[in-house]
Amino acid sequence: MPHASKSAAKRSQKTLERVFSKAGMGSRTEARSWIGAGRVRVNGCVVRNADHWVDLERDHVTLDGKPLRKAAHTYLLLYKPKGYLTTYRDPQGRPTVYDLLQDAGLWLVPVGRLDLDTSGLLLLTNDTAFAEHVMNPDHKVPKTYQVKTATRLTDEQIDQLRRGVPLSDGLTRPAVVTRVRDSATRTFLEVTLTEGRNRQVRRMIEALGSKVLKLVRTALGPIRIGDLPIGKWRHLTAGEVRAFGGSRSPSSVRC
């Protein structure tokens, strides 16, 4: 049992900056600025070292004299527009998804990413266990996209997507692919993947000799974007959170 006690104690310890991000109060960068400014106390003493270890079971942490309290778990669905980065700040000053979340009132982290030129469903949360569960490749959470290609794809090319496409980082898993419609020079597809490689849909289409002109993620696991307007967000329902699995209590979900 002594070994188990030591393991439990180690799990309860986190760096001071991580304590704030885990509580959903802000990013680690923000936490470092608060700590450096002397606004944070641990057991009544000012601590300016962001890497100071804190035992969450024993230590009392305050910010501007107010006790640190873990925020209620919050889960948002954002319809990310094209041209927005999935990051907090951009050195080049380009817009980020956080520009669209200023009225959310909490620090949230993206569950995965969408690249600059991709729009669609993006989940954000302060529940790190939930985010890790959804992003864990072992869980094979399906991701569904609407795709517009630069050329009209043949049946053989679409069958290749279904079987798996050889990329520089290996053969892709078989995808569920539906030809939605064709124009004279374009193909519109619905593609569902169970893995999340970088720029995967674009790379798969490029491997067929074509290009993606438009890419929209419409579903992640059991959650669909529905009729949510582009650039807007909503809270997930308790049922939607439960649908991802795990033991999260509906009472802890801010809907």
Q: What is the CATH number of the domain that holds 14?
A: 3.10.290.10
Task: Give which of 166, 27, 5 is closest to 89, Cα–Cα.
Answer: 27
What's 216's domain CATH number? 3.30.70.1560
Q: Are residues 232 and 129 in the same domain?
A: yes
Q: Are residues 103 and 148 in the same domain?
A: no
Q: Are residues 226 and 123 in the same domain?
A: yes
pLDDT at 232: 96
Low-confidence ranges of the chain (pLDDT < 70): 1-12, 24, 105, 246-255
- Any long-range contacts for 45-53 (C-beta under 8 Å, 24+ apart)? 47/16, 49/16, 50/15, 50/16, 50/17, 51/15, 51/16, 51/17, 52/15, 52/16, 53/13, 53/14, 53/15, 53/16
pLDDT at 250: 40
pTM for the full predicted model: 0.77
What's 86's domain CATH number? 3.30.70.580
The residue from 13, 40, 67 where one domain ends is 67
DSSP H helices, the chain, are: 2-12, 16-22, 28-36, 128-135, 155-163, 200-207, 238-242
Q: Are residues 46 and 100 in the same domain?
A: no
Contact in structure between 191 and 147 (CB atoms under 8 Å): yes
Q: Are residues 123 and 173 in the same domain?
A: no
Residue with tokens 């035992």: 55
Return d(Cα 104, Cα 77) in angstroms, integer.
Answer: 11
Q: If DSSP codes are grouped into helix, strand and coil, which group holds residue 16?
A: helix
Q: Are residues 211 and 226 in the same domain?
A: no
Q: Are residues 121 and 178 in the same domain?
A: no
Bridge partners (DSSP) of residue 223 are: 220
pLDDT at 3: 46
pLDDT at 209: 97
The residue from 67, 96, 113 where one domain ends is 67
pLDDT at 255: 44
pLDDT at 105: 65
Return d(Cα 164, Cα 184) in angstroms, integer.
Answer: 26
Q: Return the structure tokens found at 226.
A: 């529905």
Query: Which residues form the domain of 244?
Result: 73-137+222-254
pLDDT at 19: 82
pLDDT at 240: 92
For the chain, what is the domain count? 3
Q: Are residues 80 and 52 in the same domain?
A: no
Q: Are residues 61 and 29 in the same domain?
A: yes
Q: Are residues 42 and 14 in the same domain?
A: yes
Return d(Cα 55, Cα 250) in angstroms, integer.
Answer: 28
Q: Are residues 164 and 207 in the same domain?
A: yes
Q: Are residues 227 and 114 in the same domain?
A: yes
pLDDT at 24: 67
Active site positions, annotated: 115
